[in-house]
Amino acid sequence: MQENGKRIKLDVSINAPEIVVPFTSSFEEVILVDLGKLRVSNTFFVPDTEERAIAELYDIKLTDFKVTRCCGLIEIAADGQMDIQWTVGPPIIDHRPFQIKHTSR
């Protein structure tokens, strides 16, 4: 990276989507995959080398990832809107947070 190049500071946190995977076409039993929370940030630094280039460190974290089995009760209103009431069981997979760090120059 150039010494005087432009840099963009990142600090982004988002709720990742929930994905519903049905066992049957009636949606009575499903697997709910909650992708949790995603956070991406970066920092800039000058490494301890003879190069004067600025390095960038990316930090990516995924937390609260869960997979749960659910049973649903479907109600369809007169206007065709579908309302599903879920009974949520204990998590099948309850993943610990994990982190990825990557440095680029």
pLDDT category at 13 given cuts 50, 70, 90 is: very high
Pairs from 9-16 (Cβ < 8 Å, separation ≥ 24): 9/42, 9/44, 10/40, 10/41, 10/42, 10/58, 11/40, 11/41, 12/38, 12/39, 12/40, 12/41, 13/37, 13/38, 13/39, 14/38, 14/39, 16/62
Would you place residue 1 in the very low, low, confident or very high pLDDT band (cuts 50, 70, 90)? very low
How is the chain split into domains, by residue range?
11-104
Task: Please tell me which residue, 97 or 17, carries the higher pLDDT value.
Answer: 17
What is the average per-residue pLDDT within 64-70? 84
> Considering the entire predicted model, what is its pTM?
0.56
